[in-house]
Amino acid sequence: MNRTLVIVGASYAGVQLAASAREYGFDGRIVLLGDEPDAPYQRPPLSKAYLSGAFSEARLPLRSQAFFDEERIEWMPSVRATYIDRARHEVELHDGTRIGYTHLALTTGARVRKLDCPGAKLDAVHYLRDLRDARRLAQAARSARRAVVIGGGYIGLEAAASLRQMGIDVTVVETEARVLARVASPWMSEFMQRAHELHGIAFRCGRKVVTVQPERDAVSVVLDDATHLPCELVVVGIGVVPNTEIAAECGLTVTGGIAVDECARTNDPAIVAAGDCASFVPHWAPADSRACRVESVQNANDMAKTAAATIAGRPEPYRAVPWFWSDQYDLKLQMAGINTGFTHHVVRGSVEEKKFSIFYFRDDALIAVDSINRPQEHMLARKLLAKDAKLTLNEAQDSAFDLKGATQ
């Protein structure tokens, strides 16, 4: 029987999985299903340079059509998978047609979490997940004077910075007591909020949106303390929901995401999953940790490589070090590792000069490093974490200590 790999989802994980499957020797048919009409594209610029107009749409595609042709990858745009028939090894599409598979990969990603309050469906309310969202938001921003960004995570702060650089007055509303509460330490949260405040952005932390009221030529975002924030533009960035419905419906295990093992395998040996939709117990997590999802380009790409190796019959456990980045104004925030459960921290560099790193330790073990405008130190941190290097607290505190030597 001729082998066929069907990949449901055409973003970072899907494209990388197809490319890696070929690289690892899979010589069968590869079909890549995407529910958007546009070729697979980069998403990080959507909330940054693309929104401000500094990054053209022509630069967004992840791969050229020539790549798909050369690698014999059948990319199918505007196609939505609706059902997986595991018994027959077939994927049903929105038009009722079916595609048979010997291997199936789910890279279905995630969708935005919607604002749940009166007025949430007004035209002034925008989200930022895909290219269609970004086009609509960029168009609306051209005529806006005031904006309210709901959510102080990466997407919210990046959008806020881009809008502010366009000359728009911006207020950020965050339900938590601090921005980036889910992903950053209190020190980094404080630094990032202060940086935004110096650029003129106002914050309302610890507040919840209760309604969005229409006004003449504008709207008003009403908070739970009765504060009214009039604006022409509302941007919502309150997290995402993994697209797991098609997996759950066909009987795959779903635990906050599509459950996979360390080789990206689901409970069906013919099906793998990778990227934002996949849930797994990371190798770097403390003992007895629950499965989690990692929402990042790095995880999507590296996990897709693991899934592709499994499909090609060369399974290897997923051991990549998680890393993230965010560009805001003149700040490049780069994060390596996960700082959950840290007990000690050390600052290297100068906070005043906006060039520093925070090294996080759990007892005596280095578990994560956050860097601001220290790209070389970020790369060294990734090597230290990958090698499980025995960097001590005293060594990290010593500005003269050679981090590069510790990676050898």
The yes-or-no verdict on residue 189 having pLDDT over 70 is yes
**What digits encode the pLDDT tens for the residues 137-149?**
999 999 999 999 9
The yes-or-no verdict on residue 187 having pLDDT over 70 is yes
Q: SS3 letters for 24-79?
A: CCCCCEEEEECCCCCCCECCHHHHCHHHHCCCCHHHCECCCHHHHHHCCEEEECCC
**What digits encode the pLDDT tens for the residues 382-393?**
999 998 888 988
Distances in Å between the alpha carbon of 171 and those of 115, 137, 148, 251, 371?
17, 16, 5, 44, 26
Does residue 102 or residue 396 have the better pLDDT?
A: 102
Alpha carbon 121 to chain centroid, angstroms: 24
State residue 211's pLDDT score.
98
The closest alpha carbon to 342, from 369, 372, 378, 302, belongs to 369
The yes-or-no verdict on residue 109 having pLDDT over 60 is yes
The closest alpha carbon to 160, from 191, 196, 124, 128, belongs to 196
Share of the chain above pLDDT 70, in %: 100
The yes-or-no verdict on residue 346 having pLDDT over 70 is yes
State residue 1's pLDDT score.
53
- Average of per-residue pLDDT across 79-95: 97
**What digits encode the pLDDT tens for the residues 148-170?**
999 999 999 999 999 999 999 99
What is the C-alpha separation between 325 and 327, in angstroms, rounded? 7
Instruction: Give the domains, in start order, of the chain with CATH numbers.
Output: 4-111+241-311 (3.50.50.60), 114-238 (3.50.50.60), 330-406 (3.30.390.30)
pTM of the model: 0.94
Residues 6+ away with beta carbon under 8 Å from 263: 306, 307, 309, 310, 315, 316, 317, 318
Contact 179, 149 (CB under 8 A): no
- Average of per-residue pLDDT across 103-129: 96
- Average of per-residue pLDDT across 271-299: 92
**What digits encode the pLDDT tens for the residues 50-70?**
988 888 999 999 999 999 999
Confidence band of 284 (pLDDT split at 50, 70, 90)? confident
